[in-house]
Chain A
Amino acid sequence: MRIFYLLKKELIEIFRQKEMLVIMFIAPILQTIILGYVVTTDVNNIPVEVINLSKNKAAYRIANRINRSDLFDVKKITNQPGDHLKTLKQGKAKSIIILRDRYDKKRKPLAYPEIQILMDGIDSNTSVIAAGYFNGIARQFILEDMRKKGFELPVESQTLIRFNPNLKSINYMGPGIVALLLTIISMFLTSITLVREKEQQTMDTLLISRLTPVEIYLGKSLPMALLGLIEMGIGILVVILVFGIPLRGSLLYLFLASVIFLFAILSYALLISTLCSSQQQALFFSWFSMVTFLLLAGLFTPVENIPKGLHWIADINPLQYLIKIIREIFLKGNGIEYFYKDLLILGAITVTVLTLSLLNFKRLVSK
């Protein structure tokens, strides 16, 4: 019962700080929207120059298709060769498509032109994706043209994309962003909560009261868990209503996973709080941990891409599991039978870190 007095006090304190309320409730909505639009792997409007040196009709039609595509922002179409390196250096275009005639052994022009793609490789990801787009456009044109002429390819693959048929990266990133927000808010707010009591010397007052260390610990963490869940709810609403990402799975499972994750991340934050002697230190530690968790969570790059030596960090990173589960629930509509192992790992992380932080808290207060 005494825990609830502490819980009530924490909530009053939080809701009294207007700046904190803005950070907690307005910032997540704005962040979800901004991140949803910005953190995307979709590549659009790539600045391109098309140099068509071919007299071939097919070359003209390929250049036209590139010009009409929304994927490219065609800056110039010309039939004059130029200084391509200079164009790339100046950043006027990120890609230069050069179409030239091809000839057979008798110096007779072939039906389809040679396509050379020059890319600015600084942003390797965009370059690879853009090259794929160009090749796709050219291949599609040639296929259609050959069919018109009565030719059929002996083997043709057909791709069927499930769960995210339009390959919209927001569908992939959106649910992950909700997990990210949950981490940011919970980590930062909770890591300073115990250390603030230490700094204000109110911890001593609490410790000699009838509250036990466990009650203090839980009384400080439960309000944060509650707020974290509210934040999560806001984030989910934003990704569904603003970005139209479908929630195909069970909301109940989503909250179950979130609650387990919340306790894991709160345990980490409380461990930080018990290790630090000032709020400044705690914030720095939280920031460092959060960036590490974020980079090794599979939000931006797949976990499989992480070097083997760093896999152990990814393995104890709760964010990795939540992002995986949340995507499965949101996009695949999977039930618990598909991710119960992840939930168990998340539970094991929670129990381990919670025990560690509680022991550390007890050690700290019995100095």
Chain B
Amino acid sequence: MLELDGLCKSYDSIKAVDNISLSIAPESLTVLAGADGAGKSTLLKIILGLVKKDRGKIYLDQKPIGSDFSKITSITGYMPERFSLYTDLSVEENMNFFSDIQEVPRRRREDLKQRLLEKTGMLPFKKRRAGALSGGMKQKLALSTILLSSPDIIILDEPTTGVDPLSRIEFFNIIEELKEEGKTIIVSTPYLDEAEKGDDIVFIKNGKIIKQGSIQSLKENFPARLFRILPEGNIFKAIESIRADDEITDNVYIRGRYIKYMQSGTAGFIDRIPAKEVKKVSPTLEDIYLYYERNINAV
């Protein structure tokens, strides 16, 4: 089990990671979700020792790792935010290079390479230069290279940013398979539909964890009542008039032809919204994120 205790990192006056404590369960998929600049990448780099933390401790199987990050990196595969392979090398040459530097035994190598390229659907492209691959294929190749060392922990930093929707689905299918194989996976993403796939979801904003839990527990413990409102007349005019009302402006947002209203506490202001139809609905992960993101003090 990987545990983070009070991790902090500041760049001048900006707190990139602010007192983050987190337990990553083995053989689970943990998703770090948050907007760009929330501190997700910095947190992942701290775990790997690529960014020096200001404070805090990291434990692996309940033992502090101190400054010896090789305890983590030796069992971890890391895929950085951007494509981080060699564009002038072919798919196979990239695989060979990473096998070499990870010291994958020669007798296992060919079989492993074949299986990984098959698994990621990259086998027909093994002679193609990495620079000539599509965005989705590049990410699959990057994932294949980190799997060569058969890591126990897999850290993927925004692996599907800039990847087409079909490739994103395929990519997450592979991640699901890896989890089934018993890998511990940490993925950061700005996409909440991807976050839903996690066993544990960690919302991060301004370097802080604003909420954490399984999707089920997050939904069950959602502290507000959520309404879907079909406004009278033009939706934009309706939202304009609602936003002029200080007491409800922070709790409404447009989704399609509806306005969503989160009512926290007992005091409701729903009567102030001119509506054709009002329906109480269950929160989606997006609603949950928006609630905690807007009511950061409610955490």
Which residues of chain A (1-16) have a CB below 8 Å from chain B?
2, 5-6, 9, 12-13, 16
* Size range of the chain B interface in the assembly: 20 to 34
Which residues of chain B (66-86) have a CB below 8 Å from chain A?
73-74, 76, 78, 80-86
Instruction: Give the residue name and chain of the A residue nearest to B129 (CB).
Output: A16
With most chain B CB atoms within 10 A of its CB, the pick from A2, A16, A208, A367 is A208
Query: B240-263 vs A: 1/0 string, CB under 8 Å?
Result: 000000000000000000000000
Contact check, A208 vs B85: say whether CB atoms are below 8 A apart: no
Contact A367-B51, Cβ < 8 Å, known A9-B89, A17-B88, A204-B80? yes
| A202 on the B face (CB < 8 A) | yes
Instruction: Give the residue name and chain of the A residue nearest to B51 (CB).
Output: A367
| A210 on the B face (CB < 8 A) | yes
Q: Provide the residues of chain B in CB contact with A5, threshold 8 Å.
A: 97, 100-101
How distant is the Cα of A366 from the Cα of B69 in the complex, in angstroms?
Answer: 11
Instruction: Give the residue name and chain of the B residue nearest to A199 (CB).
Output: B82
Candidates B50, B74, B89; contact of A204 at CB < 8 Å: B50
Q: Name the distance in Å between A192's Cβ and chain B's nearest Cβ.
A: 14
Contact A209-B81, Cβ < 8 Å, known A13-B89, A204-B50, A367-B51? no
Instruction: Give the residue name and chain of the B residue nearest to A2 (CB).
Output: B101
Contact check, A9 vs B97: say whether CB atoms are below 8 A apart: yes
| B93 on the A face (CB < 8 A) | yes
Q: Name the distance in Å between A174's Cβ and chain B's nearest Cβ.
A: 35
Q: Provide the residues of chain A in CB contact with B16, threshold 8 Å.
A: none
Contact check, B78 vs A204: say whether CB atoms are below 8 A apart: yes
Contact check, B80 vs A205: say whether CB atoms are below 8 A apart: yes
How distant is the Cα of A276 from the Cα of B31 in the complex, in angstroms?
Answer: 34
Instruction: Give the residue name and chain of the B residue nearest to A219 (CB).
Output: B101
Contact check, A210 vs B50: say whether CB atoms are below 8 A apart: no
| A206 on the B face (CB < 8 A) | yes
How distant is the Cα of A211 from the Cα of B48 in the complex, in angstroms?
Answer: 14
Q: Name the distance in Å between B86's Cβ and chain A's nearest Cβ.
A: 6
| B98 on the A face (CB < 8 A) | yes
How many residue pairs bridge A and B at CB < 8 Å? 65
Contact A201-B84, Cβ < 8 Å, known A9-B89, A12-B93, A209-B102? yes
| A200 on the B face (CB < 8 A) | yes
How distant is the Cα of A264 from the Cα of B295 in the complex, in angstroms?
Answer: 58
Contact A6-B82, Cβ < 8 Å, known A12-B88, A17-B88? no
With most chain B CB atoms within 10 A of its CB, the pick from A9, A200, A205, A366 is A205
Contact check, A2 vs B100: say whether CB atoms are below 8 A apart: yes
| A313 on the B face (CB < 8 A) | no
Candidates B45, B83, B86, B98; contact of A209 at CB < 8 Å: B98
Which residues of chain B (93-147) have a CB below 8 Å from chain A?
93, 97-98, 100-103
Q: Provide the residues of chain B in CB contact with A205, threshold 8 Å.
A: 78, 80, 84-85, 98
How distant is the Cα of A9 from the Cα of B95 in the complex, in angstroms?
Answer: 11
Q: Provide the residues of chain B in CB contact with A201, threshold 8 Å.
A: 80-84
Query: A190-220 vs B: 1/0 string, CB under 8 Å?
Result: 0000000000111011111111000000000
Contact check, B101 vs A210: say whether CB atoms are below 8 A apart: yes
Candidates A6, A12, A200; contact of B101 at CB < 8 Å: A6
Which residues of chain B (148-193) have a CB below 8 Å from chain A?
none
How distant is the Cα of A195 from the Cα of B296 in the complex, in angstroms?
Answer: 39
| B55 on the A face (CB < 8 A) | no
How distant is the Cα of A206 from the Cα of B85 in the complex, in angstroms?
Answer: 10
Q: Provide the residues of chain B in CB contact with A367, threshold 8 Å.
A: 50-52
Q: Provide the residues of chain B in CB contact with A206, threshold 8 Å.
A: 101
Q: Provide the residues of chain A in CB contact with B74, threshold 8 Å.
A: 210
List, sorted by A's number, 30 A–B pairs whose CB atoms are closer than 8 Å.
A5-B101, A12-B89, A13-B88, A16-B88, A200-B82, A200-B84, A201-B83, A201-B84, A202-B86, A204-B48, A204-B50, A204-B80, A204-B84, A205-B80, A205-B84, A205-B98, A206-B101, A208-B48, A208-B49, A208-B50, A208-B76, A209-B98, A209-B101, A209-B102, A210-B74, A210-B101, A210-B102, A365-B50, A366-B52, A367-B50
| Residues in B lying within 8 Å of A, measured CB to CB | 45, 48-52, 73-74, 76, 78, 80-86, 88-89, 93, 97-98, 100-103
